[in-house]
């Protein structure tokens, strides 16, 4: 079984893939081509993807039972003791700034409206 997922790729590439695979959802192709055809399809996807991204997943004889390849993804497959895992790049946290109203700082505790609702007062 072979799965190809396209994101932001030209429509012509999607039409090309429908010759050998079934498009089960927009940009998601499923089929069981031979290894030779699968490799040729992946080469065409990489060639014509343009600014888009692509993912290829297929069955193989390993511990997981499948493997995958990516094209222009920020997440990359890495081998970890025989198991393929996804390496996600770490992003540096940006400092969060909260808007301050009226020049004062926010006080901890219940708001006046919440106190009225909780204690039944007006």
Which CATH number characterizes residue 63's domain? 3.30.70.240
Number of domains in the chain: 1
Answer yes or no: is 97 within a domain.
Answer: no
Answer yes or no: is 117 within a domain.
Answer: no
Residue range 70-85, pLDDT digits in tens: 998 888 888 888 888 8
Residue range 15-50, pLDDT digits in tens: 999 999 999 999 999 999 999 999 999 999 999 998
Answer yes or no: is 15 within a domain.
Answer: yes
Residue range 83-110, pLDDT digits in tens: 888 888 887 666 665 555 555 556 667 7
Half-sphere exposure of 60 (CA within 13 A, CB side): 15
Answer yes or no: is 49 within a domain.
Answer: yes
Q: What is the DSSP string of the chain?
A: -EEEEEES--HHHHHHHTTTSEEEETTEEEE---HHHHHHHHHHHHHH-TT-EEEEEEE-SSSSSEEEEEES-SSEEEEETTEEEEEPPP-PPPPP----STTSPPPSS--HHHHHHHHT--
Answer yes or no: is 110 within a domain.
Answer: no
Tell me how far apart the terminal alpha carbons of the chain are, to the nearest angstrom.
65
Answer yes or no: is 39 within a domain.
Answer: yes
Answer yes or no: is 47 within a domain.
Answer: yes
CA gap 8, 22 in Å, rounded:
18
The residue segments making up the domain with residue 45 are 2-87
Answer yes or no: is 100 within a domain.
Answer: no
């Amino acid at each position: 079984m072979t799965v190809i997922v396209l994101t932001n790729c030209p429509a012509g590439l999607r039409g090309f893939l429908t010759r050998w695979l079934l498009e089960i959802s927009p940009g998601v192709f499923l089929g069981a081509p031979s290894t030779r055809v699968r490799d040729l399809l992946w080469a065409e996807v990489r060639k014509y993807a343009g600014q888009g991204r692509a993912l290829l997943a297929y069955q193989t004889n390993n511990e997981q039972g499948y493997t995958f390849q990516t094209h222009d993804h920020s997440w990359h497959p890495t081998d970890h003791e025989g198991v393929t895992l996804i390496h996600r790049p770490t992003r540096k946290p940006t400092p969060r700034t909260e808007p301050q109203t009226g020049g004062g700082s926010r006080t901890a505790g219940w708001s006046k409206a919440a106190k009225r609702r909780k204690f039944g007062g007006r």
